[in-house]
């Protein structure tokens, strides 16, 4: 396993290129199942999760090649309709193959995802949506087994706004007979890009970008190409790094329109932020102010940025409350931040943060993707040396983060070894 060794206190300056969005790619890749042909997804990030999804799709008979951030998928030879446990346990997003497999082949056998570092993450909304569209769905020995001679359009109303369930419902409905209405659909940019991609494949979808999607089923779709949107969580993570470490950094290939909540909170905390059509520049505040945040569905402050915000607030002036209204127990990073000298209490789904003058380097353990990001950020400003262990979590969702941070002036290096 690898670890990062960081010597804190360096000022960050310069520009950093933002990669394609992990959570868009993980939806676009399974969407190609819906048509037989060759698709090219450009601006695809080189991430462990993309490798994991590629391995899963290859077991189904899809030929996949990644060259220079363009993923080419050939879906003409699909001959297996299963997502085995050994793949799904590595990545929950594997469940995205359920909808397209049932829609195009009338069958799917997908392992139930395990929990993750911060607790259970049910898939009931995915299953209910596929059932509503006419599939027979049973749970057999930890697998979702779905069958359908064909799918019929239906009205689907999600009690809870769910990114994944919206994605699966959309991908299942585009080949169903008749009209499907999806109410309380997620409007995250990654879902809007999925809907746009399905339209490019020949699907008929109205209401893109709204939480009411109307789908007219068609008989078949054709392969299409796409350019993945920038990763708004990677962008947000680098903006927080800019606010933390002084100096001025510019994100290139970023979409400010996907970052409105993050930008507003960073300005409240004292940062100066400006943007063009594809860049965002942040000037660190002279004095970092404490600002409360409640993570909620888009366009609210993203839950995937909650841990990074807590690292920022750990050294802000005053006290703040960081609440997560999506996941009630996504606070595994807190005990590790405490080891760096932060002053934080967690109660229910909120972290109560009292800013301290400085953090002190220590060995800390990554537990999940975004928790790892918050530990890296804390290490950048902690006095002395911080070692962040088990950075494979980070490699799931950040492309070459240590190279990008080093290019901005950070003193961070990856050390490969077995014992940590």
Binding residues (CB under 6 A) for ligand EPZ: these are 22-23, 26, 92-93, 121-126, 160, 162-165, 186, 190, 303-304, 326-327, 369-370, 397
Residue among 220, 167, 161, 233 nearest 194 (CA): 167
CA distances from 322 to 219, 330, 349 (A): 47, 11, 9
Structure tokens, 23: 């959570």
Other C-beta atoms within 10 Å of 46: how many? 15
Nearer to ligand EPZ, 163 or 378 (CB): 163
What's the min distance (Å) between Cβ of 18 and ligand EPZ? 15
What's the min distance (Å) between Cβ of 268 and ligand EPZ? 22
What's the min distance (Å) between Cβ of 40 and ligand EPZ? 21
- Rg for the chain, CA atoms, rounded: 21
Q: Which residue is nearest to ligand EPZ (CB)?
A: 164
Nearer to ligand EPZ, 121 or 403 (CB): 121
Nearer to ligand EPZ, 45 or 397 (CB): 397
What's the min distance (Å) between Cβ of 273 and ligand EPZ? 23
DSSP labels for 330-352? --TTHHHHHHTT-EEEEETTEEE
Sheet holding 272-275, edge to edge: 14-17, 248-252, 279-283, 272-275
Distance from C-alpha of 382 to C-alpha of 271, rounded to nearest angstrom:
20
Nearer to ligand EPZ, 81 or 118 (CB): 118
Nearer to ligand EPZ, 15 or 124 (CB): 124
Distance from C-alpha of 232 to C-alpha of 19, rounded to nearest angstrom:
9
Asked if residue 322 lies in contact with residue 293, where contact means CB atoms within 8 angstroms, the answer is yes
Instruction: Please enumerate in sequence order all residues whose Cβ is within 8 A of that of 354, keeping only pairs 6 or more positions apart, or say none.
Output: 319, 343, 344
What's the min distance (Å) between Cβ of 182 and ligand EPZ? 14
Helices (H), 11-154: 22-31, 48-59, 85-88, 98-105, 124-132
What's the min distance (Å) between Cβ of 93 and ligand EPZ? 4
Nearer to ligand EPZ, 330 or 404 (CB): 330
Structure tokens, 201: 């494949």
Respond yes or no: is residue 245 known to be catalytic. no
Active-site residue, from 46, 116, 199, 275:
116
Distance from C-alpha of 269 to C-alpha of 294, rounded to nearest angstrom:
15
Nearer to ligand EPZ, 241 or 316 (CB): 241
Instruction: Please enumerate in sequence order all residues whose Cβ is within 8 A of that of 19, keeping only pairs 6 or more positions apart, or say none.
Output: 43, 45, 46, 47, 69, 230, 231, 234, 253, 399
What's the min distance (Å) between Cβ of 184 and ligand EPZ? 11
Give catalytic residue positions.
116
């Amino acid at each position: 396993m690898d670890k990062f060794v960081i010597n804190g206190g360096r000022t960050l300056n310069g520009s950093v290129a933002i990669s394609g969005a992990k959570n868009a790619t993980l939806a676009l890749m399974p969407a190609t199942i819906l048509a037989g042909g060759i698709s090219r997804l450009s601006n695809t990030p080189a991430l462990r999760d993309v490798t994991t999804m590629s391995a899963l799709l290859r077991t189904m008979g899809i030929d996949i090649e990644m060259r220079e951030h363009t993923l080419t998928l050939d879906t003409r030879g699909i001959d297996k309709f299963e997502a085995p446990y050994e793949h799904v346990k590595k990545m929950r997003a594997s469940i995205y193959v359920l909808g397209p497999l049932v829609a195009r082949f009338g069958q799917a056998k997908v392992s139930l995802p395990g929990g993750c570092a911060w607790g259970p993450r049910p898939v009931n909304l995915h299953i209910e949506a596929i059932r509503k569209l006419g599939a027979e769905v049973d749970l057999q020995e930890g697998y979702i087994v779905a069958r359908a001679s064909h799918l019929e359009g239906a009205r689907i109303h999600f009690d809870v706004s769910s990114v994944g369930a919206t994605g699966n419902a959309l991908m299942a409905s585009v080949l169903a007979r008749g009209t499907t209405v999806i109410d309380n659909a997620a409007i995250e940019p990654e879902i809007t890009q999925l809907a746009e991609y399905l339209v490019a494949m020949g699907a008929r979808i109205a209401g893109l970008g709204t939480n009411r999607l109307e789908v007219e089923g068609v008989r078949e779709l054709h392969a299409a190409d796409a350019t993945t949107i920038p990763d708004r969580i990677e962008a947000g993570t680098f903006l927080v790094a800019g606010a933390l470490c002084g100096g001025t950094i510019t994100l290139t290939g970023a979409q400010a329109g996907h970052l409105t909540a993050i930008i507003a909170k960073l300005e409240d905390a004292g940062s100066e932020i400006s943007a063009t059509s594809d860049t965002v520049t942040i000037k660190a505040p002279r004095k970092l102010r404490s600002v409360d945040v409640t993570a909620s569905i888009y366009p609210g402050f993203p839950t995937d940025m909650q841990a990074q915000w807590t690292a920022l607030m750990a050294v802000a002036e005053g006290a703040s409350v960081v609440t997560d209204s999506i996941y009630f127990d996504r606070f595994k990073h807190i005990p590790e931040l405490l080891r760096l000298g932060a002053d934080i209490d967690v109660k229910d789904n909120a972290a109560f943060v009292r800013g301290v003058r400085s953090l002190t380097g220590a060995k800390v353990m990554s537990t999940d993707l975004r928790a790892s990001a918050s530990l890296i950020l804390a290490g950048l400003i902690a006095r002395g040396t911080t070692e962040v262990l088990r950075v494979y979590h980070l490699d799931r969702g950040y492309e070459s983060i240590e190279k990008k941070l080093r290019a901005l002036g950070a003193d961070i290096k990856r050390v490969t070894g077995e014992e940590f």
